[in-house]
Structure 1
């Protein structure tokens, strides 16, 4: 197991306006950890914390993203409660610490499902049931520290692809991105559920065939079926690439997402 330097983990988390402090399992602050995470906070060994955290995940969601499930089950070295101060206020989150090639470390952030509250994004029912269960019962978002990318976007930051891209009234010339003999789906009817923050988005929509999603890469579109290797590879690659983004010191800053990228139409 690589050495885990708490200061280095904090540095990975503190992007933009975010400040973070890992909560020591024996510190007084541990008492403020949500009850559902008490088993993690009370565990002394990193491997035990990781195992307890993974036991909370719904297996059917991991089956949707088998490559990512493999990363978690083979390379997760610790899970730490963390005091998190960001643009949306102070929260306690879980920080998942993953071993990357070269003994480097990468992190994901999982938000408390209690934060989901009554907020249901527009087109929420187009998400696979397994993902909805995960967001409501396991983590209300599991992403980069920006809450939007390389994971499952926080529900409070889930928008239509049109709104997220900076065109709330609909992406101009959107129909031109679709192939012939295909009925285009309105960009306002696509729920962006994840992406890499620059040139890849994965969306769901009630207007797509059941069990499918839409992958948009630099304006090039492809309908992909949930549960197939194609969509598993897309989601798995997005999630596992997260480790490389962190190890290279490159990430997406809060408030700097591609909602301002009006160059999407090609």
Structure 2
């Protein structure tokens, strides 16, 4: 099979997203026949139909859906490559890509990376930080998408090397006038009768809370699902639910949002984070420098 060219893949993605060859062609400043020809050549090259032609447009076949997923990933990688090379052309001498969990990003990681970059000897280095759930962080490091990953050390780090990073403690966050607001500490099982705000349903914290509730013969009632810790705190402020987040992240919001941050007494509530990587010896010099900084 000949190599796939990015221009054709970009057009294929546009057609799949617009469900219309003419609209995709207009976006690319091409005529529809030129796009149709490229797509026909792509189907011939791969040996399978990729699009179903309908009366009012097109839709991807099962093979087309699979190619769409791969094509999007390839285009993102190409964009990263262009951006990275442009950075080197502009004078950057080293670059590190880091994937991190939401908790790590919301707590100290951004400040730690900033202090690293502020050192005069690191002025020509660049760090790309991306937030993902822990499983995606680990998978990204395993696949070589990033040099370093920062996540909860209870995650499955099999096959990776790691160094200890920081610790935090999970806490229950409730409105200041909530019935639970008067206690100083409590076990998670004491809060499961209330509606919760869920954060990233596939995140390590959410799965751990569901498991902890099940072990006590209880279930969590998830009323609202959000994608960030700050959004969860705003929902709690609106008195639509309570949430479990790192206490270190919630406390700065407590006074302005009218919240109570109550540490959990469960043993699993104290978490340790780790910096993971595939092979320390194989890390680029810039990644080794950042690893040493975070490992302090």
TM category, shorter? under 0.3
Q: Which has the higher helix share?
A: 2
- Greater Rg over alpha carbons, structure: 2
Query: Scaled by the length of structure 1, what TM-score is found?
Result: 0.26
Q: TM-score, normalised by structure 2?
A: 0.24
The structure, 1 or 2, with the larger RCO (C-alpha pairs under 8 Å, 6+ apart) is: 2
